[in-house]
């Protein structure tokens, strides 16, 4: 084989996209991105517009110019809504803090230790994960009912922590797998105990991942509907269930429900924006 | 500053022996290199000295103290890891100070120690940076600095140069040597690179299959390998081996090998006493072989198979009756076409002989 032929550039693959002119390519890209954006933004736009329409205007939001904030006022005049916001915030935050304590340490154990204990633990959360989420709710209801935990904070909290632990221990294990264990060995030689090496070296290194997981857990519980519906009642109203109560015998009050949904988005958006930096870092680990 | 003594040390994983009966004394202030192919147990041995692996059997003593059950933090050792293992969330200064702070050393003393280490390693401008902002070589230096500030009894190195590129590796090798001369601490260094082993070690330990094959100075290991494995592992290009037969002939021996026969005198072949009529494995170092295109006495006859031009020298692979023999240090200018008939000779004193069954050196 001659040198010239070996140095020749590889033939370029040409597709339909390459046949277009550069200007047409840009236009094509803009169209494609817009389409995707529309897919995600449209429901939110519809939601926001609906929340600003009077009750009789929700079925034709594309027409009419009547906009009002009365829906928001009405929603917040109902005591249960405020209570639901407060309860959901409390449950989501408490569930996140409690479950992080378990997921972080159990993820670390799964990543670093061998033997029967991690193996058994891994198998059990694996089995729980394969069970469809929805099929847990009935047994949990029976358990909560018989333990007198139905419609209590502790009842719903325990259920959420259990789900978090099963679903997120894995993710945490993955994060710790990505952190080089020799850093902890170095710390142990530098005068730390095993626990000290975890706390002072592995934990800070996993900081972004933990933050990402924290947000994930928080959003999960904040948005969760099924457990809230079955395991809570009038004593502990939660956001998602309260929202669903705008569906009445007389019809669905879409405008009020939308107003509440928009309000419910706000804390989640704020938290996500605030911690986005960590989430992206966490994803990179 | 301390001696490290390993007595009958074993490491078992189930029925597998990762380290099998290792006996070794590392002298005070000595730079000892453990070398061997991957999986030979050298890293496990080092990690047992560090306390990162449990010892299945035997004892390890650092100084006068048996450290078998002592956790790593109480062994007064310092270690450099292959991937540096710097604390990613701390600055270089905090990385260096971490071990001292854990030992409740006053901040003033820490500062003086770090100043000293920073001067030795040229890290002055990097103290405020985070590890990920440093190049591989700089990270390696910080890892070394972490050892120096500790004034530990023993330094342990686990393949510290293998993540660096070839040029930087050669440079850091020299720096390590200079550093050891300056700091004078007992050091145990694990590598799979025989060049590092030869250049850095006061003594070299060659390991294979979980056992120690030979302990000695680099020159002893190179010139008097005790087993065929050591002979093939140390030296580059690797030693050539030929199966031959020994015949007593006057005041010496004739060794019949593929491609010809050598005559060696008694004094240059003391290992062959009692081998008359038996088969031996002959070891020839590529750098000891001379290559002639004209007929030569006491030579093996073969044909050039391949040449590799290195600029300063040529490596020539010669085919000798089915066996392939590598010859190095052939003048770069010589033109050797594949197929050229050639004659290979060696100083009889430079031949090595091994028992073909036990693979032990005959000497």
Residues of A in contact with B87 (CB under 8 A): 183, 186-187, 201, 204-205
Report the residue from B73, B82, B87 with minimal CB separation from A189.
B73
Select from B156, B209, B218, B163 the least CA-distant residue to B187: B156
| Listed residues A53, A70, A87: the one ending a domain | A70
Same domain, A43 and A153: no
Do the strands B186-191 and B154-158 form a parallel or antiparallel pair, or are they unpaired? Answer: parallel
User: According to the CATH classification, is domain B4-226 in 3.40.50.300?
Assistant: yes
CB A165 within 8 A of CB A125: yes
Whether the CB-CB separation of B237 and B315 falls below 8 Å is answered with yes
Residue range A51-72, pLDDT digits in tens: 988 887 777 766 777 888 889 9
Q: Is B57 exposed, middle or buried (0-12, 13-18, 19+ CB in 10 A)?
A: middle
> In this structure, are strands B65-66 and A247-248 parallel, antiparallel, or unpaired?
unpaired
Give kind and range of the element (H or E) at residue A161. helix A153-177
Asked whether residue A66 falls in the same domain as residue A79, the answer is: no
pLDDT the model gives residue A4? 45
Q: How far apart are CA A245 and CA A257, in angstroms?
A: 9
CA-based nearest distance A203→chain B, Å: 10
The boundaries of the domain holding residue A42 are 17-70
Per-residue pLDDT band for A1 (boundaries 50, 70, 90) equals very low
Which tens digit of pLDDT belongs to each residue from A89-142?
999 999 999 999 999 999 999 999 989 999 999 999 989 888 888 888 899 999
ipTM of the complex: 0.85
Residue ending a domain, among A55, A70, A85, is A70
Put simply, the answer to whether A189 touches B71 (Cβ < 8 Å) is: no
If asked whether residues A161 and A220 sit together in one domain, one would say yes
Q: What is the largest CA-CA distance in chain B?
A: 78
Residue A228 pLDDT > 50: yes
**CATH number reported for the structural domain that contains residue A257 in this entry:** 1.10.3720.10
Give yes or no: residues A162 and A136 share one domain: yes
Question: Residue for token digits 């580059």?
Answer: B236
- Residue among A183, A190, A196 minimizing CB distance to B99: A190
Pairing of strands B77-80, B154-158: parallel
Residues A123 and A24 in one domain: no
Q: Of the CATH numbers 2.40.50.140, 3.40.50.2300, 3.30.379.10, 3.40.50.720, which one belongs to the domain with range B240-354?
A: 2.40.50.140
What's the pLDDT at A11? 61
> Which of B75, B102, B148 is the mutation pick for testing A, counting most A CBs within 10 A?
B102
* Same-domain status, A109 and A192: yes
How far B87 CA lies from chain A's nearest CA (Å)?
A: 6
User: Is A7 a domain residue?
Assistant: no
Within a domain: A9 = no
A116 assigned to some structural domain = yes
Q: Is residue A3 part of a domain?
A: no
Residue A8 lies in a domain: no
**Quick check: A107 and A175 in contact, CB under 8 A?**
yes
Across the strands, what pairs with B345? B290
A3 band by pLDDT with thresholds 50, 70 and 90: very low
| A42 shares its domain with A83 | no
HSE-CB at B104 with a 13 A cutoff on CA atoms is 0
Q: Has residue A6 been placed in a domain?
A: no
- Domain locations along chain B: 4-226, 240-354
A276/A135 same-domain check? yes
Per the structure, the count of domains in chain A is 2
Contact B146 A190 (CB under 8 A): yes
pLDDT by residue for chain B (363 residues), tens only, comes to: 689 999 999 999 989 999 999 999 999 999 999 999 999 999 999 999 999 999 999 999 999 899 999 999 999 999 999 998 999 889 999 999 999 999 999 999 999 999 988 988 888 899 999 998 999 889 999 999 998 898 899 999 999 998 888 888 888 898 889 889 888 899 999 999 999 999 999 999 999 999 999 999 999 999 999 999 999 999 989 999 999 999 888 888 888 888 888 888 887 777 888 888 888 999 999 999 999 999 888 899 999 999 999 999 999 999 998 889 999 999 999 999 999 999 999 988 888 999 999 999 987
The answer to whether the CB atoms of B98 and A185 lie below 8 A apart is: no
Statement: residue A7 has pLDDT above 60: no
* Whether residue A154 is found in the same domain as residue A66: no
User: Same structural domain for residues A185 and A231?
Assistant: yes
Asked whether residue A273 falls in the same domain as residue A165, the answer is: yes
Other beta carbons less than 10 A from residue B66's beta carbon: 13
Q: Do B85 and A180 touch (CB under 8 A)?
A: yes
Contact B87 A187 (CB under 8 A): yes
Tell whether A104 is covered by a domain: yes
């Amino acid at each position: 084989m001659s040198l010239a032929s070996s140095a020749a550039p590889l033939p370029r693959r040409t597709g339909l996209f390459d046949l277009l002119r550069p200007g047409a390519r840009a236009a094509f890209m803009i169209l494609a991105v817009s389409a995707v954006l529309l897919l995600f933004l449209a429901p939110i736009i519809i939601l926001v517009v609906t929340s600003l329409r009077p009750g009789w205007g929700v079925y034709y939001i594309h027409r009419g110019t009547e906009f009002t904030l009365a829906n928001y006022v009405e929603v917040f005049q109902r005591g249960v809504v405020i209570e639901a916001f407060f309860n959901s915030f409390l449950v989501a935050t408490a569930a996140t803090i409690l479950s992080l304590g378990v997921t972080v340490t159990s993820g670390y154990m799964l990543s670093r230790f061998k033997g029967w204990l991690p193996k058994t633990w891994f198998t059990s959360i694996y089995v729980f994960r394969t069970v469809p989420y929805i099929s847990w709710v009935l047994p949990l209801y029976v358990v909560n009912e018989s333990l007198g935990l139905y419609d209590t904070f502790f009842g719903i909290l325990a259920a959420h922590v259990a789900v978090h632990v099963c679903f997120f221990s894995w993710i945490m294990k993955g994060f710790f797998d990505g952190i080089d264990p020799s850093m902890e060995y170095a710390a142990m030689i530098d005068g730390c105990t095993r626990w000290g090496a975890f706390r002072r070296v592995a934990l800070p290194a996993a900081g972004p991942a933990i933050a990402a997981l924290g947000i994930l857990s928080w959003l999960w519980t904040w948005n969760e509907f099924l457990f809230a519906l079955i395991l809570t009642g009038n004593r502990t109203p939660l956001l998602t269930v309260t929202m669903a109560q705008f569906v009445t015998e007389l019809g669905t009050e879409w405008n009020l429900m939308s107003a509440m949904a928009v309000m419910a988005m706000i804390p989640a958006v704020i938290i996500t924006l605030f911690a986005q930096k960590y989430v992206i870092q966490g994803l990179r680990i | 500053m301390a001696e490290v003594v390993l007595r009958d040390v074993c490491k078992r994983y189930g029925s597998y022996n990762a380290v099998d009966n290792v006996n070794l004394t590392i002298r005070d202030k000595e730079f000892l290199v453990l070398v061997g192919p991957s999986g030979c147990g050298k890293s496990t041995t080092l990690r047992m000295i560090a306390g990162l692996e449990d010892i299945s059997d035997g004892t390890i003593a650092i100084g006068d103290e048996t450290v078998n059950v002592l956790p790593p933090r109480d062994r007064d050792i310092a270690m450099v890891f292959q991937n540096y293992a710097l604390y990613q969330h701390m600055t270089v200064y905090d990385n260096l100070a971490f071990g001292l702070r854990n030992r409740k050393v006053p901040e003033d003393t820490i500062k003086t120690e770090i100043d000293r280490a920073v001067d030795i390693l040229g890290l002055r401008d990097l103290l405020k940076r985070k590890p990920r902002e440093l190049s591989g070589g700089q990270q390696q230096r910080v890892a070394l600095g972490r050892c120096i500030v500790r004034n530990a009894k023993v330094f342990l190195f686990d393949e510290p140069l293998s993540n660096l590129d070839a040029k930087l590796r050669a440079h850091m090798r020299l720096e390590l040597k200079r550093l050891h001369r300056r700091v004078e601490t007992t050091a145990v260094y694990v590598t799979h690179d025989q060049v590092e082993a030869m250049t850095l070690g006061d003594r070299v330990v060659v390991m294979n299959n979980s056992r120690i094959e030979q302990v000695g100075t680099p020159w002893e290991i190179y010139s008097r390998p005790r087993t065929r494995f050591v002979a093939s592992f140390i030296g580059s290009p690797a030693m050539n081996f030929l199966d031959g037969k020994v015949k007593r002939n006057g005041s010496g021996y004739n060794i019949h090998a593929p491609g010809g026969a050598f005559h060696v005198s008694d004094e240059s072949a003391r290992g062959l006493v009692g081998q008359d009529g038996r088969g031996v494995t002959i070891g020839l170092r590529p750098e000891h072989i001379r290559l002639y295109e004209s007929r030569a006495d006491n030579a093996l006859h073969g044909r050039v198979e391949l040449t590799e031009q290195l600029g300063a020298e040529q490596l020539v692979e010669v085919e000798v009756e089915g066996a392939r023999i590598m010859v190095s240090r052939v003048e770069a200018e010589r033109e050797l076409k594949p197929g050229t008939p050639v004659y290979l000779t060696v100083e009889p004193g430079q031949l090595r002989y091994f028992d073909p069954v036990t693979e032990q050196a005959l000497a």
